[in-house]
Structure 1
Amino acid sequence: MSVTIDDALIDYVAELSRLKLIGEEREAAKRDLSNVLAQVEVLGEVDVDGVEPITHPQPIVNAMRSDTVRESYPRERILENAPDAAQDSFRVPRTVE
């Protein structure tokens, strides 16, 4: 499983990653990607016959609880901590224009 790392592949991966690679960055990306793929090839050679696949090293159990209605903090008390509140809501700075 040998993949040729050429300029077209680097351009494709850079576009998918939304990266603009210039000069030495392109060559470094080629080297790095080649090294990663070489390591993947080594992993592909490992004999895993008889090894049971796992998804988690520890058993996972959901802690279920009943869904019950409980008292909440009063809205006014919560909004007292807000640096800026309006109409029973937190006001925050605009992040998208």
Structure 2
Amino acid sequence: MSLDAATVRRIARLARIRVDDTEVETLKSELNAILGYVEQLGEVNVDGIEPLSGGAQMALRQREDYVTDGEIAEKVLANAPDREQNFFAVPKVVE
């Protein structure tokens, strides 16, 4: 498959990419090279080759879920402008 200049302009318009007339020939050759490579991949014999498993089929390692306060409340609240006990104090915004 080979693209012509009109098709390259149409692709650029659909992709909402501004392409000057001077860039059309460069894009045409680059897109034709990409399409040529894709055609080569279609010629590869893959009979008897199992598909690779992607990340979706792999089981994720899981850790036990437990609640913790991090045990660093003093470090967290050290830069707080105002605090009450182990909480940030904020101005009341609802009457």
State the TM bucket, normalised to the shorter chain: 0.5 to 0.7
Structure 2 residue aligned with 1:20, among 18, 21, 29? 18
Cα deviation per residue 1:40-77 (whole Å; 9 max; x = unaligned)? 111101111111111449x8330112221111343424
Name which of structure 1's ranges 45-54 and 61-70 shifts more when overlaid on structure 2.
61-70
State the aligned residue count. 78
Question: Partners in 2 of 1:50 and 1:26 — Cα distance?
Answer: 42
Structure 1 residue aligned with 2:66, among 39, 47, 68? 68
Question: Partners in 2 of 1:78 and 1:55 — Cα distance?
Answer: 48
Once the two structures are superposed, the pairs formed by residues 42-57 of structure 1 within 5 Å of their partners are 42-56=40-54
Question: Partners in 2 of 1:51 and 1:26 — Cα distance?
Answer: 40
Question: Partners in 2 of 1:26 and 1:51 — Cα distance?
Answer: 40
TM-score in terms of structure 1 length: 0.61
Unaligned runs of 5+ in 1: 81-86, 88-97
TM-score in terms of structure 2 length: 0.62
| Identity percentage of aligned residues | 31
Code of the residue aligned with 2:77 in structure 1: it is: E
Say if 2:5 and 2:25, in contact at 8 Å, map to a contact too: no
Q: 1:12 to 1:70 in 2, by over 3 A?
A: farther
Unaligned runs of 5+ in 2: 82-89, 91-95
RMSD value, Cα? 2.9
Question: Partners in 2 of 1:62 and 1:51 — Cα distance?
Answer: 26
Question: Partners in 1 of 2:65 and 2:7 — Cα distance?
Answer: 52
Question: Partners in 1 of 2:14 and 2:7 — Cα distance?
Answer: 11
